[in-house]
Amino acid sequence: MPKFYLFYLIPFIVLVCTANSCQTQNGSTWFAIRDRENRSVFRLNDTLHLEISGSKAGRIADSAEWMINGEAIGKGLHLDLPALEMGLGGKKITTRVWQEEKEFETTAEVVILSDIEPAALAYEVINTYPHDTTAYTQGLFYKDGHLYESTGRKGESTLRLTTINGKVLRQATLPDDIFGEGACLLEDKIYQLSWKDKRGFIYNMNLEKTGEFAYPEPFDGWGLSTDGRYLILSDGSHLIRFLDPRDSMKVVRTIEVFDDEHPVKLLNELEYVNGILYANVYTKDYIVGIDPASGKVLLEIDLAGLLPDKAHYKGFDKYNYVLNGIAHDPSSGHFYLAGKKWPLLFEVRFSKAGAMAGR
């Protein structure tokens, strides 16, 4: 399947010393970190074979201590390090090197990719329903036969309860200066994000606002879901954060999302279903399924053409009115998929068939 991501370039580094910690004599570096196979990009099932190279005055280093992101992981001039122990993403490896009781420090960066190719899922459209074209969909979830939808844009942001057929039954309106983002339900409380305001809102099931919360770190709010214990938040990058609503929204852990080739950036609306975190990739008709423990991309669903061109109305902005909104009905196993200001809502079923099922 085609990859529809915007990536940063994975640096094929350069396992060398940093400018402030490396020392040179006669223009040559004394000590550096080197992989014995001269690699800097690895897969999660690889083992890194690292060593300290270089010398000073013709003498190699006496000893070394290894650290990853500041945490000690081993000692010696050689280190065999399973990538699995580091996890996915970019990692900074630091060594403190001693020679004749003098200490030197050198660093290197490596990238760990997933060790599996994502499975390609097909989709089948079960039904279509009308959708409010004034709703700039930012979040969507299903509960007891109804949909809860969070909408965005300043002056248009709402949280609404609707029927599957799109009828608005109840609505809460955000202040005009707030750009609404994702929303989810956890323990009979609805949590809704804002985009740039570094705060979110809490409602009861009647959409009555009962409180607010501050973001614990300076990130943007994009998508929001829950695994039944933590809130799971995306910020438009390849990072997913797990927040504890019982402890002042403390970030308890962060994962980096990678497939077997790249980091998957622009993660947007989220839906946690049976141990898989589904995510829209912003501006693309594309959904990925993520392992919430490791960040591996487990599956990919190409939804290009889900909204046919004939459904575009006058003023439809195909560059901004994109797929966004994933809700799961546990009773049927079906998903409801929406888009920003789309005229239609789609009830779909995913399958492992090799090609797209009939629409």
Q: What domains lie within the chain, and their CATH numbers?
A: 24-113 (2.60.40.10), 119-351 (2.120.10.30)
Take residue 323 and report the two structure tokens written for it: 């797929």
Over residues 179-183, the mean pLDDT reads 97
Binned at pLDDT 50, 70 and 90, residue 29 comes out as: low
Over residues 194-201, the mean pLDDT reads 96
pLDDT tens for 73-103 read 999 999 999 999 999 999 999 999 998 888 8
pLDDT tens for 203-237 read 999 999 999 999 999 999 999 999 999 999 999 99
Over residues 240-256, the mean pLDDT reads 97
Give the count of beta carbons closer than 10 Å to the beta carbon of residue 231.
Answer: 22
- Could you write out the DSSP letters of every residue in 115-145? SSPPEEEEEEEEEEEE--TT--EEEEEEETT
10 has pLDDT over 60: no
Pairing of strands 297-302, 119-130: parallel
* pLDDT (0 to 100) of residue 58: 82
* pLDDT (0 to 100) of residue 59: 86
Structure pTM?
Answer: 0.88
159 has pLDDT over 70: yes
Distance CA 236, CA 137 (A): 15
Distance CA 238, CA 352 (A): 25
Mean pLDDT of all residues in the chain? 89
DSSP letter assigned to residue 36? T
- Could you write out the DSSP letters of every residue in 144-172? TTEEEEEE-STTT-EEEEE-TT--EEEEE
- Could you write out the DSSP letters of every residue in 319-352? TTS-EEEEEE-TTT--EEEEETT-SEEEEEEEE-
15 has pLDDT over 60: no
Binned at pLDDT 50, 70 and 90, residue 25 comes out as: very low
27 has pLDDT over 50: no
CA diameter of the chain: 79
pLDDT tens for 268-325 read 999 999 999 999 999 989 899 999 999 999 999 999 999 999 999 999 999 999 999 9
Over residues 35-61, the mean pLDDT reads 91
